[in-house]
Amino acid sequence: MNPLIAPALPFDMKPRAREAVRDLKLQQFVGNATHLKDTQRGGIFDRDFGAEYDALRTVARDTKQYALDHLDELLERFIANAEKSGATVHAATTGREACDIALSIARAHQAHGRAQSCVKSKSMVTEEIGLLPAFEAAGIKTLETDLGEFILQIDGDAPSHIVTPMIHKDRVATAKSFVRELGARYTEDPTELTMIARAHMRGLYRAADIGVSGANFLLADEGSAVICTNEGNFDLSVGGPPVHIVFVGIEKLIRGARDLAPFLKLLARSGTAQPLTIYTSFVCGPRRAGEHGGPKELHFVLVDAGRVGVLASEKRDLLRCIRCGACLNACPVYRKVGGHSYGSMYAGPIGAVLTPELERAQGGANASQSGAGLANYPDLPRASSLCGACYEACPVKIDIPKFLLHDRTRLRERGLSPKSEGATLALWRWLAERPTLFRMAIGAVRLHARMLGQKDSRDERAWLTRVPGPGAGWTQSRDLGVATGESFREWFSKRGSR
């Protein structure tokens, strides 16, 4: 798997974040795109839902939470209805198992010795389980058909955003890859580049033996899957090849089409400020007798890969996520560090809480210990200013800051937080229980600044340019202004009672 999204563990986020902050192009691309999408998201909800936006989010939150709270019933119903429609349902505990199921389906269709090919529609869960490397290793030539994913594939790059995977790349990089990998003539025009990719892929669609996709929703009542795309690549991936495999996390289940409308209305607006994605496609079983087009076999691979563990934990809420990407666009930290800094296909605020939790739940013997996944991702819970923009943007109201705080506690309990910082905080708390000492400590800070700080010409303040201990990070780029004149309490008591 690509080390950008599947790095060596434990993962150290800081070098990647530092590098990203210095990368001016990345700052520009990611900054502009996320700001634009975030603003447009606000605009379309104001226009279409106004004051009722919050009520809509509440409906979506509770509808999805209901599904999670009754996931066993829904799953049973889905399996029965999907099989009734002629689909085959598989279950995979791990990513490896999911890949193996797909490989055995492929093998069953392999004509003697002939190499197979696959067309794949964009899917986060297939990134997660490493399907592409597994297929390539088995000699199944696989084409990412989503334009962004295709460009990343031919560049050996990895997605850095849930919805706009190549948010970190520009047209120049694309132009060069198309010359190099496709033998295309050099052009930087996005329309021409898109048409080159289209022409390249058309023939591959026709020849493909297998289609692969993810799903945005599973409908228990109907036994069908709902897939949202803007390009139409899912429809082509499922329409042509004789076999289609849908990989889907079990948390995508909802009761049925009767519960779908709030999510469809929120998903595209939250992600790309569209009323709906261009294509909202329902697939219900393989092609039927007498029909023209469509797969002769339709397989669902229900993927656990840690989800059951999350369902059982106090972080069940995280499974409400519909992968709209709004929290990434809204997040000031994501805007600065980009997706690859999170060391996971799930970047940004939701990734910061989901990645360690999925890691924990897949951790075998440690899986039951809260926070066990944090040892491999100790920076993720701290990589947030806790500004709350993610919670505000989330269409299903996942309280991401709450879970970040929860993880910071687990980090501290497991000794994964800086010791000096913990000691400082403990001292601070000890002093805070002793008002006289606490005031003396504040006085000492002020005295320290008066003695060593640089006097301000404008007011009674001194500037410290170096602070020791855990505060050193502060004065790396900032001064610390400390008021050195009369303290507030002196002033207040001097005025007397009024």
Partner 1 sequence: MTTRQSAVDALLARVRAAVRAQPVTVREVPSHAVVRRVTCDTANLADLFATKAAAVGMRVTRVDEAGLDAAVTTLLATHAQADAKVVVAMRDANLAARASAIAGTRLAANDNDDLLFDCFVGITDVDCAIAESGSLVVSTNGRIRNAWVTPPIHVAIVRAAQILPDLVDLFESATDALDAASTTIITGPSKTADIEGVLVTGVHGPAAVEIVLVS
Partner 2 sequence: MRVALFTTCLAEALAPRALKATVLVLEHCGVTVELPTAQTCCGQPMLSNGLPGDAALLARRMTEVFAPYDAVVTPSGSCCSVVREKYAGLFADGSRDRAAVDALAAKTFELIEFLETKLGIDPATLRAKSSPRASTAPLTCHDACHLRGIHRHGCTEPFLRSACGGDVRELPDMTQCCGFGGMFSTQFPEVSTALGEEKLAHVASTGATTLVASDTGCAAHLAGLAHRKGVALRVISPAEALAESLGLMEVQESGAPNGGKHGAPNGEKHGAPNGGKA
Q: Which of residues 48-67 bind partner 1 (CB under 8 A)?
A: 48-49, 52, 55-56, 58-59, 62-63, 65-66
Region of 70-78, 303-311, 346-354, 414-422 interacting with partner 2 (CB under 8 A)? 414-422
**Angle at 98 (CA atoms; ends 96, 101), nearest 5 degrees:** 110
Sites for partner 2 among residues 327-366 (CB under 8 A) = 332-333, 335-337
Number of residues that bind partner 2 (CB under 8 A): 77
The residue among 195 and 432 lying less far from partner 1, judged by its C-beta, is: 195
Contact between 258 and partner 2 by CB under 8 A: the answer reads no
Q: Is the backbone peptide bond immediately before 10 cis, with ω within 30 degrees of 0?
A: yes
Examine residue 394 and tell whether it contacts partner 1 (CB under 8 A).
no
428: contact with partner 2 by CB under 8 A: yes
Q: Judged by CB under 8 A, does residue 275 bind partner 1? A: yes
Which of the choices partner 2, partner 1, none does residue 93 contact, using the CB cut-off of 5 to 8 A by kind?
partner 1
116 binds, among partner 1, partner 2, none (CB under 5 to 8 A by kind): none
Single out the residue of 72, 113, 433, 451 in contact with partner 2 (rule: CB under 8 A).
433
Q: Does 264 bind partner 1 (CB under 8 A)?
A: yes
Site residues for partner 2, window 445-474 (CB under 8 A)?
A: 445-446, 454, 456-460, 463, 465, 470-474
Contacting partner 2 (CB under 8 A), which of 136, 421, 440, 447? 421
Give me the 137-176 binding string for partner 2, x by CB under 8 A, dash otherwise: ----------------------------------------
Q: Residue 29 interacts with partner 1 (CB under 8 A)?
A: yes
DSSP 294: S
Query: With contact defined as beta carbons under 8 Å apart, do 261 and 207 qualify?
Result: no
Binding mask 142-181 for partner 1 (x = CB under 8 A): ---xxxx--x------------xxx---xx--x-------
402 binds, among partner 1, partner 2, none (CB under 5 to 8 A by kind): partner 2
Residue 425 binding target from partner 2, partner 1, none, CB below 5 to 8 Å by type: partner 2
Query: From the CB of 318, what's the least distance to partner 1, in Å?
Result: 12
The interface with partner 1 within residues 76-95 (CB under 8 A) comprises 76, 79, 85, 88-93
Binding partner selected for residue 471 from partner 1, partner 2, none, CB under the kind-specific 5 to 8 Å limit:
partner 2
* Stretch of 15-23, 287-295, 344-352, 400-408 contacting partner 1, by CB under 8 A: 287-295
Residues in contact with partner 1, total (CB under 8 A)? 103
220 binds, among partner 2, partner 1, none (CB under 5 to 8 A by kind): none
Quote the crossing angle between the two packed helices 261-272 and 24-48, to the nearest 10°. Answer: 140
